[in-house]
Amino acid sequence: MSSAGFELGGNRLARRRRVNFGMEALAWVAAALAVSVLVVMVYAVARRGWSQLNLDLITKQPIPFSFTNAPQGLSNAFAGTIVLVAIATLMALPVGILVAVYLNEFAPPTIRSAVTLVLDILNGVPAIVIGIFVYGLVVLGHGQSGFAGSFALACLMLPLVARATMEVLALVPNSLREAALGLGVARWRTTVSIVLPQTIGGVLTGTVLAVARVAGETAPLLFTSSLVGNRPSWNPGHALQSIPVAIFELSESSDPKDHARAWAAAFVLLLFIMLASLGARWLALRSRRKLTAG
Amino acid sequence: MSAADLAEAARRPFTGRRVRFGDLLLQLVAGAAALATTVLVGLIVWKVIDGAHLSISKFGLGFVTRIAWNPVPGHELYGAASFLFGTAVTSFSALLLATPLAIGIALFLTELAPRSLQAPVTALVETLAAIPSVVVGLWGILVLGPTLRDHVEPALHGALGFIPLFGPKGAGASVFTAIVVLTIMILPIVASISRELFLSVPRELKEGALALGTTRWEMVRGVMFPYARGGIAAALILGFGRAIGEAIAVTQVIGGGVWIHWNLFDTGDTLGAKIAASYQGASTNLQASSLIYLGLILLAFSLVVNLAAQWVVRRAARKQGATRGGRG
Amino acid sequence: MPKLGSLTRISAVAAAAALLAATAVGTAGASRASHHATTISGAGSTFVSPLVAQWVAGIGAAYGYELQYSPIGSGGGIAAIQGRTVDFGASDAPLTSDQFAACNGCLQIPWALGGTAVMYNEPSVPNLLHMDGPTLAKIFMGQITTWNDPAIKKLNPKVSLPSDKITIAHRSDNSGTTYNLSDYLSSVSSTWKSRFGTAVAVNWPVGVGAKGSSGVAGVVSSTQGAIGYADVAFALQAHLKYFAMKNRSGKFTTPGTRGILAAASSDQKPDANNALSIVNPPKKYPVAYPISTFTYVIVPKQTAKAAALRKFLFWAVTKGQAAQYTARLRFVPIPKSVLVVAEKTIAKIHS
């Protein structure tokens, strides 16, 4: 403790108590600030998008420079996002699970730390650089497509799925594996039929979180799937519109009706992401309870 | 199988002669996935360097220090300095603003919050992290920007106008708006990592300090901060890495200026934001290549930051392992 | 083994779902394909995008083509057609010889005619404020920074001007509209010409950058005291006021049908690459609006979609110029002399 001069004990204590009170108050303020920023943002999105939040948003296509009041929506963006995210999941999920299986079940320690580092590096690559990468790899020469966009999204999903799977694989007790081996079950059978089924909850959680993350990503799609038409398309061979790119484009318009549609789409996106995150959290809790109970 | 054979089988993937085809296949396929991931990262680095090659061969390293972005055909000249400056200013400032707030939130959640508030507030902070950047950017252009421009910037200019940072108010799209947006975006990461760090501080240490008569703040300052120092450093570095990589929300609110000046309320640009704004419309190969050069610089930046965070985490883990001694 | 069953079941369900999804995608794609045999995709100029948007319905009704257009700026359009990622590119800035070379056998065809409005957001002043070239150049160079500057006052003696700061809104992307404006400013201000020149993107000394014409209109709408530039259709859509510009004969003209048409008469002969320049027309066109421009479509000479492209472009330069498409947006039907050249060039597209 400090050896500053001899103060009357009471004064010193009072000053320390005041400082403590001040710091605690600041902590309360910080938390209140964070919560209020979130509330303000979500409220702004909800209030401003409310007027355009109707079935038209999903069923009608956009009509740029319409001088009539014909109903418009963002049907092309909703259809496109579903296709893009679905294909990205199909690309990333198997690879992510296999990488986790390899690292947790087969890899010697040096390779394990090396590939884990690689996964962390991949996780840290900015989304816009991934967009440039996929543009250079796939789009140049072949044109934009839903597949190119999905591939870019899959690159973002991969580390998330792999990491989630690894965490859950590590939770599966070794006694399970050893028991199976002792019974004469082949290594691969053990992994596929005994270990992996235990991890389904965790993998699902990781996948849902990864889906929630990429559903809102704009940068990777800007160069890979942005030259699109207004008609909703389910064909990933051509570029597909997506909700985040649509919001991005509408946000820079000068037409307040465009803004309203952007807010409405943002509201739907936000709702989906929040529900997915909460759902994933609930799933994680459930699967963790099952694993630790067993 | 004898007990010895069993022990062997449990330890190593393959035992002696009986190599099961299924085992081999699974290991091969899974290993291929791991290899593919590594190749992917290598491919990313290679493709970015390859795309930037035209600009690198034309401008060399001077690109990094030049303030220019002149796409006039015949006089094309590009440089990254103003974008590097913008990236550095916005990211450091966001970190500066976010750190005390994030630590305050983490402390609140671990030390001060009543039990009933802990779970909801934690969930809310993590929801903040899940908001897509394009939505934050939308809110930034249409709500935050005008509010800052009409109310906050004039107030700051009036009170602190003698500092060149707080010059005359701008048009809403400004470096200042971008800083606020980035702060909001990196706040949750730093806060949740800090929170987990504070939760891991051993109770005995905390209670020991309190038993000696320290106030809660003194305990935090004297016990928790030193204990969690390494992890918090890693959290800050990760938050910084998130900030420099953010392109979409920043490009929506920053106004796209190619210059270096001190007025926060004026426009500016960052590496990621410039790429997002200009890439689609790059009309010459040199311009496209220069934009990829910006991407290369950004990639290098984030790799360094990422590796730094890893190193800090590993060092902190080693130190903690050493202090824990033989426990666990 | 019982555990095996659940995993197999899950994978079977997943596989079935994937198959179902694939079928849905496939049949949806097929049904779309049979409905709309030809998609014509294009990208580029935001200047012409309001007009192209009106054409979508018309061309669909005429030939059943589905017209897709992405307004990413003239620079983007040139890049897109160079990379053959689209069927046609649109640019208000004529291609340079380097760009023609990079395009590898492309044709440039003037297909619309319009004017760039210099719009502003200043509630206390009336619409159609007077402005001239040299003053505008000084504003864009950052030498005039407030609304009540004496130069602006001189042009508008009867208007009381506020002391608001002028905020410039310019394009952050490569823009044919920027080319048009900078071309005009170069012809009225030698300082501008030497410092900034004529290009799709200039080294703006001041101002806020925005993407696309709608981005500029957006910034002007939301910022009091702002001045920006875009095709006049955007000013109309955003309900923004715009300046009446002083032309060479001393009259203050606006980007309307008369003014733009008069400007177009100043250059009736497209050059070897079909480019025309009609900014700041000489004195003998007294009602000309000095910031008018033709805008071009860039197509490859040889393409698999030649027949459809020819049909589309013929329609665009004839029926597409009808009042029902152009009048509301203040585009002007291209003059006959230009139309003849355009049609000759369109006929050169082959497969």
Span A184-201, pLDDT tens digits: 888 888 888 888 888 888
Return the SS3 of C74: helix
Q: C7, A252: Cβ pair inside 8 Å?
A: no
Contact map slice: B 111-140 vs C, CB within 8 A: none
Q: Looking at beta carbons, which residues of chain B come within 8 Å of A213?
A: 130
Return the SS3 of C84: coil
| Nearest-CB residue to A65 (from C1, C53, C86) | C53
Instruction: Assess contact for C297 and C112: CB atoms under 8 A.
Output: no
Answer whether residue A67 is part of any domain. Answer: no
Q: For Cα atoms B319, B321, B326, give the angle at the middle one, nearest 5 degrees.
A: 135
pLDDT for B324: 53
Answer whether residue A63 is part of any domain. Answer: no
Residue C77: DSSP 8-state: H
Q: A126, B245: Cβ pair inside 8 Å?
A: yes
Residues A269 and A176 in one domain: yes
Tokens of A164: 């989630």
Residue C162: DSSP 8-state: P
pLDDT for C15: 56
When pLDDT is cut at 50, 70 and 90, the band that residue B126 belongs to is confident
CA distance A267 to A43: 10
Return the SS3 of C32: helix
Instruction: Assess contact for A225 and A148: CB atoms under 8 A.
Output: yes
Average pLDDT, chain B: 87
Q: Could you tell me what percent of chain A has a pLDDT over 90? A: 51
Total-model pTM: 0.89
Give a three-class secondary structure readout of C291-329.
Answer: CEEEEEEEEECECCCHHHHHHHHHHHHCHHHCHHHHHHH
**Per-residue model confidence as pLDDT tens digits over C17-35:** 555 554 444 444 434 443 4
CATH T-level assignment (fold) for domain B82-327: MetI-like fold (1.10.3720)
Chain A residue with minimal CA distance to B25? A188
Q: Looking at beta carbons, which residues of chain A come within 8 Å of C70?
A: 226-228
pLDDT for C317: 95
Tell whether C38 is within 8 A of chain A (Cβ). no
Q: Looking at beta carbons, which residues of chain B come within 8 Å of C202?
A: 72
Answer whether residue A128 is part of any domain. Answer: yes
Residues A41 and A143 in one domain: no
Return the SS3 of C143: coil
Q: B105, A281: Cβ pair inside 8 Å?
A: no
CA distance C223 to B265: 14
Q: Looking at beta carbons, which residues of chain C come within 8 Å of B266?
A: none
Give me the half-sphere count of Cα atoms (radius 13 Å) on the Cβ side of residue C180: 33
Q: Is B239 exposed, middle or buried (0-12, 13-18, 19+ CB in 10 A)?
A: buried
pLDDT for C91: 95
The residues pairing with C209 across neighbouring beta strands, listed in sequence order, are C170
Listed as own residue / partner, the contacts of B161-164 with beta carbons closer than 8 Å and 24 or more positions apart are: B164/B262, B164/B263
Using the predicted structure, report yes or no on whether residue B1 has a pLDDT greater than 80: no
**Per-residue model confidence as pLDDT tens digits over A72-108:** 899 999 999 999 999 999 999 999 999 999 999 889 9
Answer whether residue A70 is part of any domain. Answer: no
The residues pairing with B5 across neighbouring beta strands, listed in sequence order, are none
Nearest partner of C338 among C257, C289, C277, C283, judged by Cα: C277
Return the SS3 of C156: coil
Answer whether residue A209 is part of any domain. Answer: yes
Q: Looking at beta carbons, which residues of chain A come within 8 Å of B108?
A: 27-28, 30-31
Residue whose token pair is 């208000």:
C92
Q: Is C99 exposed, middle or buried (0-12, 13-18, 19+ CB in 10 A)?
A: buried
Tokens of B16: 């002696």
Residues A112 and A20 in one domain: no
Does the ipTM exceed 0.85? yes
Answer whether residue A228 is part of any domain. Answer: yes
Domain region containing A116: 75-293
Which of C1, C70, C221 to mutate to probe the A interface, most A CBs <10 Å? C70
Residues A41 and A90 in one domain: no
User: Sign of the CA dihedral A109, A111, A115, A121?
Assistant: positive
Which range (A289-293, B55-59, B191-195) has the least confidence?
Answer: A289-293
Neighbouring subunits of A (3+ Cβ pairs under 8 A): B, C
B305 to chain C, closest Cα gap in Å: 29
Which of B283, B286, B287 to mutate to probe the C interface, most C CBs <10 Å? B283
| Nearest-CB residue to B171 (from C197, C201, C226) | C226
Average pLDDT, chain C: 88
Nearest partner of A119 among A137, A149, A92, A148, judged by Cα: A92
| Nearest-CB residue to A254 (from C24, C85, C221) | C221
Q: Looking at beta carbons, which residues of chain B come within 8 Å of A279?
A: none
Q: What are the backbone angles phi and psi of residue B75, rounded to the nearest 5°?
A: -125, 30
Tokens of C31: 């049904």
The residues pairing with C295 across neighbouring beta strands, listed in sequence order, are C112
Tell whether B247 is within 8 A of chain C (Cβ). no
CA distance A149 to B99: 35
Tell whether A252 is within 8 A of chain C (Cβ). yes
Tell whether C234 is within 8 A of chain A (Cβ). yes
Q: C165, B284: Cβ pair inside 8 Å?
A: no
When pLDDT is cut at 50, 70 and 90, the band that residue B4 belongs to is low
Beta-strand pair C130-131/C252-253: unpaired
CA distance B290 to B64: 11
Instruction: Assess contact for C93 and C177: CB atoms under 8 A.
Output: no
**Per-residue model confidence as pLDDT tens digits over C69-90:** 999 889 889 988 988 889 999 9
Return the SS3 of C152: helix
pLDDT for A190: 87
E strand or H helix that includes residue C114: strand C106-121
Give a three-class secondary structure readout of chain B.
Answer: CCHHHHHHHHHCCCCCCCCCHHHHHHHHHHHHHHHHHHHHHHHHHHHHHHHHHHHHHHHCCHHHHCCCEECCCCCCEECCHHHHHHHHHHHHHHHHHHHHHHHHHHHHHHHHCCHHHHHHHHHHHHHHHHCCHHHHHHHHHHHHHHHHHHHHHHHHHHHHCCCHHHCCCCCCCCHHHHHHHHHHHHHHHHHHHHHHHHHCCCHHHHHHHHHCCCCHHHHHHHHHHHHHHHHHHHHHHHHHHHHHHCCHHHHHHHECCCCCCCCCCCCECCHHHHHHHHHHHCCCHHHHHHHHHHHHHHHHHHHHHHHHHHHHHHHHHHHHHHHHCCCC
Tell whether A106 is within 8 A of chain B (Cβ). yes
| Nearest-CB residue to A23 (from B125, B217, B245) | B217
Using the predicted structure, report yes or no on whether residue A177 has a pLDDT greater than 80: yes
Instruction: Assess contact for B265 and B175: CB atoms under 8 A.
Output: yes
**Per-residue model confidence as pLDDT tens digits over A261-289:** 999 999 999 999 988 888 887 777 776 67
Residues A132 and A248 in one domain: yes
Return the SS3 of C76: helix
Residues A43 and A127 in one domain: no
| Nearest-CB residue to B283 (from C79, C209, C226) | C79
Residues A9 and A128 in one domain: no
Instruction: Assess contact for A38 and B185: CB atoms under 8 A.
Output: no
Answer whether residue A58 is part of any domain. Answer: no
Q: Looking at beta carbons, which residues of chain C come within 8 Å of A231?
A: 32, 66
**Per-residue model confidence as pLDDT tens digits over C170-228:** 998 889 999 999 999 999 999 999 999 898 888 888 888 888 898 899 899 988 999 99
Q: Looking at beta carbons, which residues of chain B come within 8 Å of A26?
A: 104
| C118 CB-near residues (< 8 Å, 6+ apart) | C131, C136, C181, C227, C228, C229, C242, C243, C245, C291
Residues A287 and A145 in one domain: yes
Domain count for chain A = 2
Residues A123 and A249 in one domain: yes
Residues A26 and A86 in one domain: no
CA distance A286 to A280: 10
B181 to chain C, closest Cα gap in Å: 18
Chain A residue with minimal CA distance to C328? A67
When pLDDT is cut at 50, 70 and 90, the band that residue C52 belongs to is very high
CA distance C297 to C276: 13
Answer whether residue A99 is part of any domain. Answer: yes
Residues A46 and A79 in one domain: no
Q: Looking at beta carbons, which residues of chain C come within 8 Å of A139?
A: 85
Residues A146 and A283 in one domain: yes
Q: What are the backbone angles phi and psi of residue C141, rounded to the nearest 5°?
A: -85, 0
B172 to chain C, closest Cα gap in Å: 8
User: Sign of the CA dihedral B45, B51, B53, B59?
Assistant: negative
Q: Looking at beta carbons, which residues of chain C come within 8 Å of A194?
A: 3
pLDDT for B322: 65
Q: B72, C208: Cβ pair inside 8 Å?
A: no
The alpha-helical segments, DSSP class H, found in C202-335 are 212-222, 232-237, 257-264, 306-317, 323-326
Q: Looking at beta carbons, which residues of chain A come within 8 Å of B209?
A: none
Q: C173, B277: Cβ pair inside 8 Å?
A: yes
Torsion of CA A58, C25, A162, B244, to 10 degrees: -50
Mean pLDDT of B185-201: 92
Q: Looking at beta carbons, which residues of chain A come within 8 Å of B279?
A: 132, 135, 222-223
| Nearest-CB residue to B73 (from C73, C76, C199) | C199
Q: What are the backbone angles phi and psi of residue C247, rounded to the nearest 5°?
A: -95, -175
Using the predicted structure, report yes or no on whether residue A124 has a pLDDT greater than 70: yes
Tell whether C41 is within 8 A of chain A (Cβ). yes
Instruction: Assess contact for C131 and C244: CB atoms under 8 A.
Output: yes
Chain C residue with minimal CA distance to B146? C222
Q: C202, B72: Cβ pair inside 8 Å?
A: yes
